[in-house]
Amino acid sequence: MGQFDFDVAHLLAGGLVLISLTMLYQDRLYALIRVFALHAFVLALSVAWQAAIQNAAHLYITAAIALVFKGIIIPVALHRIMVRLGIHREIETVVGIGPTMLAGIGLVALSMVVMLRVTAEADSLAREDLAFALSVVLLGLLLMVTRRNAVSLVVGFMSLENGLILAATGAKGMPLVVEISVAFSVLIAFIVIGIFLFQIRERFDTVDVGALDRFRGERR
Amino acid sequence: MIYGVACVIALVATVAALAQLTGERSPVSTIVLPLGLPWVGAHFRLDALSSFFLVVVDLGAAAASLYAIGYGRHEGEPLRVLPFYPAFLAAMNLVVLASDAFTFLVSWEFMSLASWALVMVRHRDPDNRRAGLIYIVMASFGALCLLLAFGLLAGPEGGYAFEAIRAAHHAGPVATLVLALVLLGAGSKAGLVPLHVWLPLAHPAAPSHVSALMSGVMTKVAVYGFIRIAFDLLGNPTWWSGMVVLILGGITAVVGVLYALMQHDLKRLLAYHTVENIGIIFIGLGLALAFQANGMALAAALALTAGLFHVFNHSLFKSLLFFGSGAVQTATGERDMEHLGGLIHGMPFTGFAFLVGCVAISALPPLNGFVSEWMTFQAILLGPDVAQWGLKFTIPAVGALLALSAALAAACFVKAFGISFLGRPRTAAAERATEVDRFSLASMFILAGLCLLAGILPGFVIDALAPVTQSLVQAGIPVQGGVPWLSIVPIAASRSSYNGLLVFLFITASAWTATLAIHRFASRAVRRSAPWDCGYPDANPITQYSASSFAQPIRRIYGTNLFRARERVEMPPPGDTAPAHFYLELHDLIWEWLYLPVTGAVCLLADRFNHLQFLTIRRYLSLVFLALITLLLALAIWD
Amino acid sequence: MLLVLLLAPLLTGFVRSVKARLLRRHGPPIIQPYRDLLRLLRKDAVLAHNASWLFRVAPYLIFAATWVAAALIPTFATGLMFSWSADLIAIVAMLGSARFILALAGMDVGTSFGGIGSSREAMIATFSEPAMIMIVFTLALIAGSTELSTVASFMLSSAVGLRVSLGLALVALIMVAIAENARIPVDNPATHLELTMVHEAMVLEYSGRHLTMIELSAMLKLLLYVSLIACVFAPWGLAPDGAGPIAYLIGIAAYILKLAIAGLLLALFETSIAKMRVFRVPDFLGAALMLGLLAMLLRFVSRSL
């Protein structure tokens, strides 16, 4: 594999991490969704690049799925949901942005250590890719943990899933069937969450998941 | 009188130590005096490390004595200071010269006690009494740790001379334990977080020249203790010891400067800055340990040089700043910045010297503080070559902490100088302030000059440090004296270089050119007028920005979690002319979470043991008997 | 050295006129800053009653420090005469010195405006300076040197490749540059509204020739950051050490072109964004700091690969 191929792949994967961090930084829902669309777009680019340098045609399909579903359909749908629910105010973060970003950096460092240590003998592209993918997954989780709004939970979940796809393409081996089923499961999850959102909204007049805790009688 | 003699002696000692350090590879001199323990004697040894620290100690001592010739006249009870002052100086010299565990510890304790007596000079103030109590407790704790460390080092054979300790091979858990104990012992003296609590209380309580000595010099003696044991006596560091020291140093640097930003007592602010600078020094030392463990001798030498250079620099500018604050105190009777302001008009010379100290401690070029931080940064940039993952992540994180602390220090000294010397006077005392005596001024200007010299000619200082690093990490960074234009090139010219002299000349030249050109070709007229007041003329200087309002943005950002800083504003309703109130609440979490539980536990234990005082004689006897039996049993089971 | 001095007001004037055009105003001509500076030079300096010597010396010192720092950056050719006398860290620190003195000067007269400006500037500096150092570290780790000339020649060579850390560093550097130059999302260079200003609040008491010096150093600082970004991330056209006059000419042309592009982008960015609250600035700069830290971490780790 040429140096240039490696560099581009590295850049794209690193870009994904960067965009994940940007999502952590965003505290407005619209901006968050736009950044998420960008995330999916870069993921599609990255997967397509992998397809090109690995000569693996099925990866192109993966890229296309990522682009169409996550880059276009889901953001548009989320946008509509938000318009209908009338929630475009600021997200209430649980922790401030500064500590969250710091935690994010810590997570990236952690995944670097873990992955680079475990995969000592794999080739360097796979190692970097896996490390970045793990960081994206962890950052997605962090996003879900630190936000209280259900929409941003969805976005966090989706970005987490993007990380999984990145890992799968880097490891050169996920069959197409698995890929498609993952995509569908995500879609179904999205639909479920969408319905769930409307339900919450109907019941509690808010999409703050804190309301659920209060309903269960727990102290926040 | 005493100060004059002390000044002359200290100067002679400085010159002698300097000659020893830079001289033509003069042999290491050792003396054994028939003092102290009969079978040990008192060993003294003057090697490169000792002579470097002797220079630091005696230079500081000479400056402080010169300052005190003038300053001491304002002392209310000179007899409480005079006897202890020479003892304190002598004890610090002895610590640096000692070459066996016994002499070292005795001098160390002597140093602690003498400085304690000096802290307690103004014992009528309850705050000072509290400071003295905390100081003596922490000092005993530190000495206890060092005692145990030396006990472990000497081993069962009791080789208390440093020669014997150096010859013995230390490894495994004993070495770990010794390092931890030294870190506690020397660290508590130097003021490593979280062992720093006594320092900002005790240093300001003493008279200013003694504060300068305690902050600028005594903490360096503690650093000397750490270097002597960790590098020289113990040897063969492990990589994680470097990591621990690095992390402690980084945390100390940032926490120290954040505490300093929250202060509005000038001397206490300076004392917290000592904590910060100790952190920077320990970052250098930790890097040196880490590099040495990885066999990177040159990098270790660079890091160690950076640390030692900062030791030297800090002793200069911290003494200078304490002298300045002492001068302010003499002139106005105030230490609280909120009662100062506008001093630059009444005390222009002190103001200038203090400004030089502020620029130097904020690590700004072309003064000396920048050079040592620059070298620390260069050492950090060699970090990726270490082998361990832990270090790979620690080193850049500590680099970020160091950069953060440098920026915060600059903010803090803008506040210190801006609030106390600039602006309009906030009290009548500040308005009446006049310049202090000549001796104090001379001492301050000599130190300011040295700061500038060390900043623009750092190559000579680095060369003087070469024998020290040579003896400790078996490498020295390349000789800087021969580099053209007197710049410093720690590794290679293509990698990094810095030329303080040229930077200084450039800045001076362009400032002069600009001034001359403008005064020649453009207007040079000056008109005086009232400042812009937005149409609300208000003569009250209280409307100025105060120390706590200056720190408000930084307090909101960093302090909300770290100090649990809470602000509360009480506004009277519109139409009501009652004054509004602003309440600020700060918590020292380290004190509340670490020390209060410990003191609580001690008190509880003391209460419990109190009952033992009221037993019958038979019970006492049975206690003694039981203890004897237990000891015998332990002995029987041991082998 | 003279080149940067001459070009600095031009860049500011250019940015201003592009901004005016974007707002469909006519705007002043590009050379207006020169006229402003000359006009200020001819006026008397008005000092407050209690201004000290520091207040009068400060403008020259600020100007000198900024000028020296700007002159040390390779603008159109690498290997300038004294470029080895200070590396990137020293340049950052020299700007720090300039800011230190400016903040003190702001507090000298003792009005609330000066205090507000100095206090906020100090707060911004506590973020932007570490972020800048992190960026310098990243560059130094990639190029193996903190010398700017060496970094620039390294960036010209083919050994660079695309690097994630470089991208992160670029984003962070742009953010820092915006904050340091008091441009729009952080501060507004055109406002005198007391609650929002930072830089202007500090220099409120200055007038006449002193104000000239301060304005000129602010312009120099903008030029410095643009040149820095151009020299590190777009080093094309830089004349190598000891090249002929034609290479130098090409270098100068390329440099001016780069300045124009950067000015255009800056004006575009400024018109398309709103100013943030002062207490949002730490978030913005904190993000720059984090990006710099991340870039450096990545370099530290991937060094072993």
pLDDT in tens, B30-70: 777 766 666 667 788 888 888 889 889 989 888 988 898 88
Q: Specify the higher pLDDT residue, B17 or C21.
A: C21
- CA distance linking residue B49 with residue B224, whole number of Å: 8
CA A156 to chain CA centroid, nearest Å: 6
Residue B161: predicted pLDDT: 81
Could you give the CA distance from residue C54 to residue C102 in angstroms, rounded to a whole number?
A: 10
Instruction: Write the pLDDT tens digit of every residue in A20-59.
Output: 888 887 777 788 888 888 888 888 888 888 888 877 777 7
Contact A98 B557 (CB under 8 A): yes
Q: Which of residues 172-201 of A touch C (CB under 8 A)?
A: none
Distance in angstroms (rounded) separating the CA atoms of residues B495 and B489? 8
Rounded to whole angstroms, the Cα distance separating C241 from C84 reads: 13
H-helix or E-strand containing B54?
A: helix B48-71
Pick the residue with more confidence: B31 or B425?
B425
Segments in chain A forming alpha helices (H): 3-25, 29-54, 57-65, 74-85, 97-118, 124-146, 150-170, 176-204, 210-215
- Record the pTM: 0.89
pLDDT of residue A220: 42
Partners of A28 in the β-ladder: A90
CB contact under 8 A, B389 and A99: no
> How far apart are the C-alpha atoms of B225 and B228, rounded to whole Å?
5
How many other CB atoms are there within 10 angstroms of residue B485's CB atom? 12
Count of beta carbons in the 10 Å neighbourhood of residue C245: 8
Asked if C202 and C100 count as a contact pair (C-beta separation under 8 A), the reply is: no
Give chain C positions within 8 Å (CB) of B503.
68, 85-86, 90, 94
| Subunits close to A (at least 3 CB pairs below 8 A) | B, C
- All residues of chain A having their beta carbon less than 8 Å from the beta carbon of residue C287 are 25, 101
Reading the block at residue C269, the tokens are 């960015």
Residues C175, C288 contacting (CB under 8 angstroms):
yes
* Partners of residue A99 in chain B, C-beta under 8 Å: 561
CB within 8 Å: C305 and A8 = no
Closest-CA residue in chain C for B382?
A: C141
Task: Please say if the pLDDT value at position A62 is more than 80.
Answer: no
Residue range A70-106, pLDDT digits in tens:
788 878 887 887 777 766 665 566 667 777 888 888 8
Q: Which helix (H) or strand (E) holds C86?
A: none
Q: Which chain B positions have a beta carbon within 8 Å of C103's beta carbon?
A: 414, 418
CA pair distance A159, A137, nearest whole angstrom: 7
- Please list the helix, strand and coil fractions of chain C in percent, rounded to the nearest 5, in that order: 70, 0, 30
The token pair at C26 is: 């006519």
How high is the mean pLDDT of chain B?
85
For residue B220, pLDDT over 90 is answered with yes
Q: Is C241 on the interface with A (CB under 8 A)?
A: no
Beta-carbon separation of B410 and C96 below 8 A: yes
B629 Cβ neighbours under 8 A, 6+ residues apart: none
Express as a percent the part of chain C with pLDDT over 70.
91
H/E segment holding residue B537: none
Contact B341 C86 (CB under 8 A): no
Distance separating alpha carbons of residues B327 and B344, to the nearest angstrom: 12
Helix, strand or coil, per DSSP, at residue B396: helix
Contact in structure between C85 and B378 (CB atoms under 8 Å): no
Task: Give the residue on C whose Cα is nearest the Cα of B523.
Answer: C42
Q: Note whether B550 and C123 are within 8 A (CB).
A: no
| Peptide linkage before B366 cis (omega within 30 of 0) | yes
| Residue pair B59/B14 in contact by the 8 Å Cβ criterion | yes
Q: Residue A127: closest CA among chain C residues belongs to which residue?
A: C305
B581-585 and C45-48 beta bridge pairing: unpaired
Q: CB-based contact (8 Å) between A129 and chain C?
A: no
Asked if residue B38 lies in contact with residue B407, where contact means CB atoms within 8 angstroms, the answer is no
Residue B248: predicted pLDDT = 93
Q: Sign of the CA dihedral B424, B428, B431, B433?
A: negative
DSSP B67-94: HHHHHGGG-S-GGGTTTHHHHHHHHHHH
Q: Is the pLDDT of residue A193 over 50?
A: yes
The segment with the largest mean pLDDT, out of B3-17, B108-122, B603-617, is: B108-122
Q: Is C290 on the interface with A (CB under 8 A)?
A: yes
Both tokens assigned to B2: 């005493």
Closest to B377 measured CA to CA, from B356, B355, B405, B411? B405
For an interface test with A, the pick among B395, B561, B562 (most A C-beta atoms closer than 10 Å) comes out as B561
Query: What pLDDT does residue A183 have?
Result: 67
Cα B83 to its chain centre, rounded Å, is 25
Residues B37, B42, B46, CA angle at the centre, nearest 5°? Answer: 160
What's residue C102's pLDDT?
Answer: 93
Identify which has the larger pLDDT, A173 or A183.
A183
Contact A52, A9 (CB under 8 A): no
Which of C160, C162, C168, C281 to probe by mutation at the A interface, max A CB count within 10 Å? C162
Smallest Cβ distance to A105: which of C294, C304, C305?
Answer: C294
Q: Residues B518-576: pLDDT tens digits?
A: 888 877 778 888 777 676 666 677 778 888 888 888 888 887 777 777 778 887 887 77
B411 and C126: CB-CB below 8 Å? yes
Is the pLDDT reported for residue B309 higher than 60? yes
Choice among B131-140, B408-417, B580-589 with the minimum mean pLDDT: B580-589
The CA-atom distances, in angstroms, between B228 and each of A190, B88, B231, B469, C273 are: 64, 21, 6, 12, 58
Q: CB–CB of C205/C46 below 8 Å?
A: no
Best mutation target, A95, A113, A135, to test chain B (most B CBs within 10 A): A113
Q: Residue B158 — left, alpha, or beta (φ > 0 → left; ψ -120 to 50 → alpha)?
A: left
B546, two tokens: 């105060």
> What is the distance, to the nearest Å, from the Cα of residue C302 to the centroid of all Cα atoms in its chain?
30
> Which of A98, A99, A109 minimises the CB distance to B393?
A109
Range(s) of the domain holding residue C211: 2-302
pLDDT in tens, B128-143: 888 999 999 999 999 9
Strand, coil or helix: what is B192? Answer: coil
Cα separation, B32 vs B45, in Å, equals 9
Cβ count near C198 (within 10 Å): 24
Decide if C180 touches B, using CB distance below 8 A. Answer: no
By three-state DSSP, how is residue A157 classified?
helix
Q: Using CA coordinates, name the residue in chain A closest to B560.
A: A96
Give φ, ψ of B169 to 5 degrees. Answer: -100, 125
Pick among C62, C82, C97 to test the B interface (most B CBs inside 10 A): C97
**Does B540 touch chain C if contact means CB atoms closer than 8 Å?**
no
pLDDT of residue A1: 47
- Reply yes or no on whether the pLDDT at A133 is more than 70: yes
Looking at the 3D structure of chain C, how many domains does it have?
A: 1
Only one residue has tokens 């002579």, namely: B51
Which DSSP string do the residues of B503-534 spell out, in sequence order?
HHHHHHHHHHHHHHHHHHHS---EEEEPPP-T
- The single residue listed with the structure tokens 């500096």 is C125
Q: Are strands B526-529 and C45-48 parallel, antiparallel or unpaired?
A: parallel
Alpha-carbon Rg for chain A in angstroms = 18
Nearest CA in chain C to A7: C162
Using alpha carbons, select from B215, B212, B269, B208 the residue that is nearest to residue B550: B269
Predicted-complex ipTM score: 0.92
Residue numbers of chain C with a pLDDT score lower than 50: 304-305
Give the type of residue at C297.
L
DSSP B43: E
**Closest-CA distance of chain B to residue A72, Å:** 38
Give dist(CA A202, CA A150) in Å, integer: 14
Q: What is the tens place of the pLDDT at every residue in B370-386?
A: 999 999 999 998 888 88
Q: Residue A28, SS3?
A: strand
Q: To which H or E segment does residue B31 belong? A: strand B29-33
Residues of chain A contacting residue C305, judged by C-beta atoms under 8 Å apart: 116, 124, 127-128
Average pLDDT estimate for A182-203:
69
Return d(Cα B319, Cα B357) in angstroms, integer: 9
Contact in structure between C48 and C205 (CB atoms under 8 Å): yes
Residues composing chain B: 639
Reported in sequence order, the residue ranges of chain C that DSSP labels E, i.e. its strands, are 45-48
Average pLDDT of B581-608?
Answer: 84
R_g of chain C, CA atoms, integer Å? 19
Return the closest-CA partner of residue A14 out of A97, A112, A84: A112
Q: Is the pLDDT of residue B412 over 50?
A: yes
Predicted confidence (pLDDT) per residue in B152-199, tens digit: 888 777 777 888 888 777 777 888 888 899 999 999 999 888 888 888
A10 in reach of chain C (CB within 8 A): yes
The structural domains of chain B, with segments of one domain joined by +, span 237-511, 551-585, 593-638
pLDDT recorded at residue C100: 93
